[in-house]
Amino acid sequence: MLEGKFEEASLLKKVVESIKDSVQLCNFVCSEHGITVQAVDDSRVLLVSLLIGNEVFSDYRCDRNITLGVDLKSFAKIIRCGGNDDYLTLIAEDSPDSVTLVFEDKNSDRISEYSLKLMEIDNEFLKIDDMDYDSVIKMPSIDFQKICRDLSTLSESLQILITKDSIKFMAEGETGNGSVILKPRTDIDKPEQSITVKLNNAVNSTFGLKYIADIVKGTSLSNQIVIKISNRTPALFEYKLQSGYLRFYLAPKFEDE
Amino acid sequence: MGIKGLNRLISDNAPEAIRSSEIKNFFGRKVAIDASMCLYQYLIAVRQADGQQLMNQDGNTTSHLSGFFYRTIRMVENGIKPVYVFDGKPPDLKAGELEKRKTRRDEAIKMGEQIKDTGTMEEIKKFEKRTVRATREQNEEAKKLLKLMGIPFINAPCEAEAQCATLARDGKVYAAASEDMDTLCYQPTYLLRHLTYSEARKIPIDEVNAGVAISDLGLTRESFIDLCILLGCDYCETIRGIGPVTAFKLIKKHQNLDNIIEFIKKDEKLSKKYIIPDNWIYKQARELFLNPEVINSDEINLKWEEPDLSGLVDYMCKENGFAEDRIKNGAEKLKKSLKTGVQGRLDTFFKVIPKTDAQKKASLDKKRKSNSNDKKNNSKKTKTSFRRKK
């Protein structure tokens, strides 16, 4: 039996909104530690890895591992029905064929209850090893979102160059070119505005902007985004949650060998 | 011409081995394509509205050129890097099969003549398609076109499928593409089917994982080859009276053909029911599948080059009457796809965790169940189904 109560429905709302354009069908695996999701997009370029730790919930109970196969498009429709500030409780039996969402309005006695039919989702699991990355940057997530959106008007690809003292985002297109350069900075009053670069090796990597456009939908989850990049290997984009994370692994584009 | 009933046998007994997906999911992959198969396919399938083959002003067929040009571009546009492999000389054992095909063709020509005046359009078309064969000239024309397009091709010493499979196994390409299921006998990593079909048909591409297919059938490579021979291959006869189901059962029980023959001969009733051909050359056929004549992959260097635009215009437009703007447009697409970087794939970095046997069994049962339910409901087959209440 799964029973997880969110203090505010908005967290799960944001999570679902952040990943529903990257993957449609995914298994929510619930265990005593919390809820995890791993899903790969159809083209196998982008991988979504989510952990909602049990500390995020105000009440959490899950005695046995339960897998909820969810169509995110339908899930998003249902979850939009609840108010942002409502309590949200997820309820499922041990081998469920549906999951129940209960929204409770804090100011009145209104209780709304929805159930979503579950799917059998037969997906492959990728094994992700911990890696040492050439470079790790941390920056305000909203800035990253704006840079990517601006540059996507020019090109389908985003080139990221990282050196010891700068991060450069570049896009070259038929109509013109654009670039944005950031320098590391520390803001003591507003730490979420800080930009840090940890560098082992200089990085020059290129990514498809259509995938990045899906990744930055996670912006609302966290003030900061952590980007871990190595040359010629998938990059990791991470939004930290209060307990847990939403991670995207994105395979780079190559110039041909 | 493929192996009878093998596709069905695999999809029934090893469904995990086959995955259907759209062409766009194969971006960034190099694929070795059985060109001789394509050539034949294009000659049959690429037609004008009235069912006639495409022709140039001299009356020579150009259906194959159209097929090679547009369908290659379709692949390239989807980020696939194709390499074509042409048949060399057929193995001696194939002579019988080729003879049979020729007789069938001659018959079709005769029938075509007979019904030319009396038959319906449909019938005439049917027999006309059966008379199609690929000529040496058409092979050369296709190669010339590929060269102008900057697409690499290989002349296999013998069977093209074998060469394609070897390229895939040695990691030179991701998969072998052919419609012939016997490609699986040569153990490619993956076999792609329907890759060269026209876009308009909207048929998904089947990706057959050869290793999984063989292991999920509970066979070894050797016993799998024997199974294919028993089902009917191009190289030798089969035992009459044994269909796919019996063949699979026998192989599972006796592992190889030698044991099966012994088993049948020992039993009087069985030897009346199943007639083993005299001087059956299954051993030679097996040898052809196990050790085909191929070029060593180390000696093969694949390179995709820029298309030769003026050469293409000269050859396709001036000589063969294709519209210039469409050829130029196509060449532009080839060039563009070559230039833009290739999108990497996660599965080249992160390995797929293999399913445990229990999971496999569960999904097999589920598929069977949903298949039988689908049949009952006569509904479309979907990969995911809603959970049913127990």
Residue B229: pLDDT above 70? yes
Determine the Cα–Cα distance for residues B14 and A98; give it in Å rounded to an integer.
30
A43 touches chain B (CB under 8 A): yes
Contacts of B385 in chain A (CB under 8 A): 119-120
Structural domains in chain A, sorted by start = 2-117 (3.10.150.10), 135-250 (3.70.10.10)
State the best of B23, B30, B365, B387 to mutate against chain A, taking most chain A CBs within 10 Å. Answer: B387
User: Predicted confidence band at A128 (pLDDT cuts at 50, 70, 90)?
Assistant: confident
What's the pLDDT at A43? 79
Q: A42 CA to chain B: closest CA distance, Å?
A: 7
Among the partner residues A42, A120, A126, nearest to B350 by beta-carbon distance: A126
Residue A218: pLDDT above 90? yes
Residue B274: pLDDT above 60? yes
- Read off the pLDDT of residues A202-215 as tens digits, 9 standing for 90 and up: 999 999 999 999 99
Determine the Cα–Cα distance for residues A14 and A23; give it in Å rounded to an integer.
15
A249 touches chain B (CB under 8 A): yes
**End-of-domain residue from the set B196, B218, B240:** B218
Tell me: do B201 and B259 sit in the same domain: no
Tell me: do B188 and B239 sit in the same domain: no
Contacts of B387 in chain A (CB under 8 A): 69, 96-97, 117-120
Q: Are residues A228 and A238 in contact, defined by beta-carbon separation less than 8 angstroms?
A: yes
User: Predicted confidence band at B236 (pLDDT cuts at 50, 70, 90)?
Assistant: confident
B322 within some domain? no
Q: B17 CA to chain A: closest CA distance, Å?
A: 13
Tell me: do B199 and B178 sit in the same domain: yes
CATH of the domain at B233: 1.10.150.20
Q: Indicate the residue type of B345.
A: R
How many domains in chain B? 2
Find the closest chain B residue to A249 by CA distance.
B346
What value does the mean pLDDT take over residues B249-278?
Answer: 87
Tell me: do B230 and B130 sit in the same domain: no
What value does the mean pLDDT take over residues A182-193?
Answer: 92
Q: A190 CA to chain B: closest CA distance, Å?
A: 36
Q: Are residues B260 and B229 in contact, defined by beta-carbon separation less than 8 angstroms?
A: no
- Nearest CA among A45, A62, A37 for reference residue A123: A37
**End-of-domain residue from the set B218, B245, B264:** B218
Interface predicted TM-score of the whole assembly (ipTM), two decimals: 0.78
What's the pLDDT at B379? 41
Contacts of B369 in chain A (CB under 8 A): none
Tell me: do B203 and B274 sit in the same domain: no
Q: Does the beta-carbon distance from A43 to B384 stay under 8 Å? A: no
B311 within some domain? no
User: Predicted confidence band at B382 (pLDDT cuts at 50, 70, 90)?
Assistant: very low
- Nearest CA among A12, A222, A254 for reference residue A116: A12
A252 touches chain B (CB under 8 A): yes
User: Predicted confidence band at B385 (pLDDT cuts at 50, 70, 90)?
Assistant: low
**End-of-domain residue from the set B289, B305, B323:** B289
- Nearest CA among A62, A209, A203, A188 for reference residue A135: A203
Q: Does the beta-carbon distance from B349 to A47 stay under 8 Å? A: no
B366 within some domain? no
B372 within some domain? no
Q: Are residues B330 and B70 in contact, defined by beta-carbon separation less than 8 angstroms?
A: yes
B88 within some domain? yes
A127 touches chain B (CB under 8 A): yes
B353 touches chain A (CB under 8 A): yes
B349 touches chain A (CB under 8 A): yes
**In the 8-state DSSP scheme, what is residue B317?**
I
Residue B355: pLDDT above 90? no
Determine the Cα–Cα distance for residues B50 and A189; give it in Å rounded to an integer.
77
Determine the Cα–Cα distance for residues A233 and A230; give it in Å rounded to an integer.
6
Q: Which domain holds residue B282?
A: 221-289
Determine the Cα–Cα distance for residues B52 and B325; give it in Å rounded to an integer.
23
B297: Cβ contacts below 8 Å, ≥ 6 apart: B166, B167, B170, B171, B172
A67 touches chain B (CB under 8 A): no
Determine the Cα–Cα distance for residues A240 and B332; give it in Å rounded to an integer.
45
Provide the percentage of residues in chain B whose pLDDT is more than 70: 89
B325 within some domain? no
Tell me: do B261 and B126 sit in the same domain: no
The token pair that represents B387 in the structure block:
């959970």
Got the DSSP string for A33-84?
TEEEEEEE-TTSSEEEEEEEEGGGSSEEEESS-EEEEEEHHHHHHHHTTS-T
User: Predicted confidence band at B182 (pLDDT cuts at 50, 70, 90)?
Assistant: confident
What's the pLDDT at B388? 58
User: Which strands form A98-104's sheet, in the order they lie side by side?
Assistant: A59-62, A2-6, A87-92, A98-104, A111-117
Determine the Cα–Cα distance for residues B181 and A27; give it in Å rounded to an integer.
34
B44 within some domain? yes
User: Predicted confidence band at B359 (pLDDT cuts at 50, 70, 90)?
Assistant: low
Tell me: do B200 and B256 sit in the same domain: no
B341 within some domain? no
A222 touches chain B (CB under 8 A): no
Determine the Cα–Cα distance for residues B72 and B83; give it in Å rounded to an integer.
10
Handedness of CA B249, B255, B256, B259 (dihedral sign): negative
A226: Cβ contacts below 8 Å, ≥ 6 apart: A136, A137, A138, A236, A237, A238, A240
Q: B97 in the Ramachandran plot: left (φ > 0), alpha (ψ -120 to 50) or beta? A: alpha
Contacts of A129 in chain B (CB under 8 A): 350
Say whether B113 sits in a helix, a strand or coil: helix
Q: Does the beta-carbon distance from A119 to B353 stay under 8 Å? A: no
Q: Does the beta-carbon distance from A121 to B384 stay under 8 Å? A: yes
Tell me: do B109 and B174 sit in the same domain: yes
The token pair that represents A168 in the structure block:
């450069």
User: Predicted confidence band at B362 (pLDDT cuts at 50, 70, 90)?
Assistant: low
User: Predicted confidence band at B386 (pLDDT cuts at 50, 70, 90)?
Assistant: low
State the best of A40, A45, A230 to mutate against chain B, taking most chain B CBs within 10 Å. Answer: A45
Count Cβ–Cβ pairs < 8 Å, chain A vs chain B: 96
CATH of the domain at B160: 3.40.50.1010
B386 touches chain A (CB under 8 A): yes
Tell me: do B170 and B235 sit in the same domain: no
Q: From the centroid of its chain, how far is CA B318? A: 33
Tell me: do B186 and B140 sit in the same domain: yes
Q: B352 CA to chain A: closest CA distance, Å?
A: 4
Tell me: do B105 and B28 sit in the same domain: yes
Tell me: do B178 and B276 sit in the same domain: no
Mean model confidence pLDDT for chain B: 85
Burial of B287 (0-12, 13-18, 19+ CB in 10 A): middle
Burial of A241 (0-12, 13-18, 19+ CB in 10 A): buried
Q: Are residues A244 and A52 in contact, defined by beta-carbon separation less than 8 angstroms?
A: yes
Give the count of beta carbons closer than 10 Å to the beta carbon of residue A240. 16
B358: Cβ contacts below 8 Å, ≥ 6 apart: none
Residue B107: pLDDT above 90? no
The CA-based dihedral angle spanning residues B104, B110, B111, B115, taken in that order and rounded to the nearest 10 degrees: 160
A128: Cβ contacts below 8 Å, ≥ 6 apart: A47, A49, A249, B350
Q: B341 CA to chain A: closest CA distance, Å?
A: 4
Q: Are residues B251 and B214 in contact, defined by beta-carbon separation less than 8 angstroms?
A: no
